[in-house]
Structure 1
C-alpha cells in the first residue's frame, strides 16, 4: 500500500504553510462517507502517496474545515494536486489519477474493457439513488430487518447485471480481474449489501466478500472506529448486528 499519512488542516493562505509536493485529500467520516471512501481508495489501492486530512460531518467545524482546505468548498472528498489544482468530485479525482499514473492499473489496459470500466464508474456516479438513499453506508454496525423497496430491488438487479457481466468476462475476483477504479466506486455498494443483508446472488456476494477482504478497505474501516462517536443521522431504528451481516440464505 502506498504512503497514506494524516495531517492537520493548514490554511493555504498562511505564510507559514509549506507548499505540498504530494497530493492532499480532505475526507469526511470514514464510517459514513461513501464518496470519501471512493476518493481515498483511488489513491490507497494503487500505491499513490497522499496526505489525508479528515473532518467530521454534521458538526459546526465541518464548514470551517472545508474552507481551510479550499475556500468555497462545499463537499468532501476534495483533492489538492501537487501542481496546485483542486479536484472537487470523485469522478474528477478518478480521471485525473488515471491520466497522471497510467502505469498503476487504475483502469484496464485493454481499450474495450477500459471503456466498460469507465461506463460502470459513470453509472455508479450518477445512478442508484434509491439504494443510496434507503441504505446509507455505515461501517460501524449492521442493520437487521431491512425490507428493500421495489426501487431498491431494481437498483440491486441492475448492479448484479453489471457485476455478473464483468466477472464473467474477467473471472474475478474483482470486476476486471485485478482491482481497478471500477471496484473503488462500487466498494460502498458492496458495504451496503454487507451492512443491510440485502438480497443478492451468491456470485454477487462473493464479490462483496472480495471487498471485505481487501486490505485498503479493511484499513479504512479500522480507522473509522477512531473517528469519534456515532453519527445519530445514520440511526436506522432497527435491530443492530455485528458488521458484516450474514446474507439472508446463510
Structure 2
C-alpha cells in the first residue's frame, strides 16, 4: 500500500451491523487514520454495492490499496499491529493468547444470543423474551469476562486491563445487553458500563444516531 493512501473501512449500518462495529471500534481506539465507506443495508442495491468493495460480498471489509481484508477479526488484528495509541493486544504472551482466544470465541460463538437479541443499538426493550439457550450463552459470556478480568484485568476496567481487540470484539454484545436490559452479575454490569463509555464506543453510537435521524 502506498504511504499516502489511507485505509478504507467499508461498513454497514451502525445501528445494526455488529460485524462492522468491531473493527471500527478497534481502528478508532487505535487512533488509526482511515476513511469510512457506508453501505446501507436491507435494500435492493445492498449486495451489488458491497460486491463493488468486497469480493466476499460481506461487510466489514478493509481496503489496503489493492488488497481487501473482508473479515472482522483479521481487521482487528491488523489494527492491533498498526495502533498509534498503544497496544491493542496484551504484551504478556499468556495474556495475549487469552485475548486472542476470547476474541475468537466471540467471533464464532453465541449464535442463539445473536439470533434472539439482534443488535439494535438505539433501541431499548425491557421485556424482551430470552430462551434458556440464550441464557446459557449469556452465562458463558459472563464467565469468560470474569476469567479475563480475574487473571488479566488489574491494570484497568477492560477485559485485559487496558483496551484490547477483545473489548472491540465484545462491543456488540455490550450493546445487546444494554438494548435488551439483560440482568447481569455486578462484575459484568461494571464491565458493560466501562466498555460502553469508551470514546470509540460512544463515537459509534453517535454515528448510529446520525444515520437513523438523517436516513443516510
TM-score normalized by the length of structure 2: 0.91
CA displacement at 1:20 relative to structure 2:
6.5
- The size of the alignment, in residue pairs, is 212
Identify the structure with the greater helix proportion: 2
TM-score normalized by the length of structure 1: 0.79
How many Å separate the matches in 2 of 1:230 and 1:21?
29
CA displacement at 1:48 relative to structure 2:
1.1
User: Quick one: higher RCO (CA 8 Å, sep 6+), 1 or 2?
Assistant: 2
Decide whether aligned partners of structure 1 residues 79 and 20 sit closer, same or farther in structure 2, where only a CA change above 3 A counts. farther
CA displacement at 1:226 relative to structure 2:
2.1
SS at match of 2:9: strand
The equivalences for 1:130-209 within 5 A come to: 130-169=112-151, 170-171=153-154, 172-209=156-193
Equivalent in 14, 29, 34 of residue 30 of structure 1: 14
Decide whether aligned partners of structure 1 residues 216 and 101 sit closer, same or farther in structure 2, where only a CA change above 3 A counts. closer
CA displacement at 1:119 relative to structure 2:
0.2
Q: Which portions of structure 1, spanning 4 or more consecutive aligned residues, are displaced by more than 3 angstroms?
A: 99-104, 228-231
The equivalences for 1:99-118 within 5 A come to: 99-101=81-83, 104-118=86-100
> Residue in 2 aligned with 1:239?
none
Equivalent in 42, 62, 74 of residue 79 of structure 1: 62
How many Å separate the matches in 1 of 2:52 and 2:63?
12
What does the per-residue CA deviation read over 1:206-242, in whole Å, with 9 as the maximum and x for residues that have no partner? 10001221111111111111224799xxxxxxxxxxx
> Residue in 2 aligned with 1:63?
47
Alignment gaps of 5+ in structure 1: 1-17, 232-250
Q: CA RMSD in A?
A: 2.2
Decide whether aligned partners of structure 1 residues 207 and 51 sit closer, same or farther in structure 2, where only a CA change above 3 A counts. same
Equivalent in 104, 112, 120 of residue 102 of structure 2: 120
CA contact (8 A) 1:108 1:180 kept: yes
What does the per-residue CA deviation read over 1:42-94, in whole Å, with 9 as the maximum and x for residues that have no partner? 20011011100001111122123213223x34111001114x21111111212
SS at match of 1:52: strand
